Amino acid sequence: MKDPRDIEERLAEGRKDYQKIPVPEEARARVETGIMRAKAEKEEQIGKGTERGHEKPEKQEAGGKKNMKTNQKKIIIFRIAAAVAAAAAVLVILPNTGAVAAHAMGSIPVVGKLFQAVTFRDYRYESNRFDADVEVPQIVVDDMAEEEEQTSGQEAEKDTAEGQKKEEASDELQGTLEQINFDIEEVTNRLIGEFQASADLGESYGSLEIHHETVTNNDRYFTLKLSIYQGAGSGFESYKFYTIDKKTGKQIQLGDLFQEDSDYNERLSENIKDQMRAKMKEDENSFYWVDYEDVPEWNFERLKDDQNFYFDEAGNIVISFDEYEVAPGYMGASEFTVELEVFEDILK
């Protein structure tokens, strides 16, 4: 284990390098204005309390990406501008002083590659009939060259094919992050817009919850899980998973993990069916659509090409199904763990 004092020194040096990054005066002014406004609103809320159903709209944008090389260190910071849905009503946004500040506080530069998700903005709403609690995340990456790469021989290695491959992966990663963060913004803005429109009518009841969690972050993969709950009379729970291959910088689907022409889908699907049958046998209250003769078209047959999945700490694959996807609604969303030994021999 590394000496904590050494880690603290690296963090301090990283913070100094980060603070040297020039910020345009116009952007600085917007950030400072946003911070002052957020502080004023928090003080007002503490003094008066938050009115139920009262909206305080605020929009913030953060954009740009900067690459800075200083000696052997380089910091790549990705900040994606918020996309506002055209059909969405005015949003209630309580920002974490904007994406710039959120990234600065949540991603202090350190030596090596650091993947993490930070809350880009929050959306809150509460009235007699409607309530919402939404976190809009953003994946950020701090990428700094290892301090040990300081000799001329190591510097020359960067010009080799391997070094070029790493640069290409870095460029690929940049595009991947832009696409994922844009998709997250698009999905959350659409759901917020639909919720806000219903709340404005006020003719029924409704709730919306969106939260995020990092479920995989090992040497090879990073996976962000977006949990979505929509309530309107009855509730519906669904998920979105975003998995990045750190080696290639690409977002991957389940099939990308396996050798070409392998029978991965059949193997995993049959294993999941066996688990469904075992669970129903153990618990009479459990029910899945497998071997269901009454409505055979409902039966789970095979995984989708874009099936939700992630790796657990042991390297097993966890397959996630939305509510109603493979079972009645009372079963909720379902997850099945496929052990590594089932598919290890056909991994790429």
CB 247 within 8 A of CB 348: no
CB 76 within 8 A of CB 67: yes
User: How would residue 34 be classed by pLDDT, with cut points 50, 70 and 90?
Assistant: very low
Structural domains of the chain, with CATH: 4-252 (3.30.565.40), 255-346 (3.90.640.20)
242-290 per-position pLDDT tens digit: 999 999 999 999 999 999 999 999 999 999 999 999 999 999 999 999 9
- How far apart (Å, rounded) are the C-alpha atoms in residues 256 and 348? 8
- How far apart (Å, rounded) are the C-alpha atoms in residues 314 and 258? 18
80-96 per-position pLDDT tens digit: 333 333 333 333 333 33
290-322 per-position pLDDT tens digit: 999 999 999 999 999 999 999 999 999 999 999
95-106 per-position pLDDT tens digit: 333 333 333 333
CB 97 within 8 A of CB 33: no
- How far apart (Å, rounded) are the C-alpha atoms in residues 53 and 39? 21
Which tokens in the block code for residue 121? Answer: 């903005």
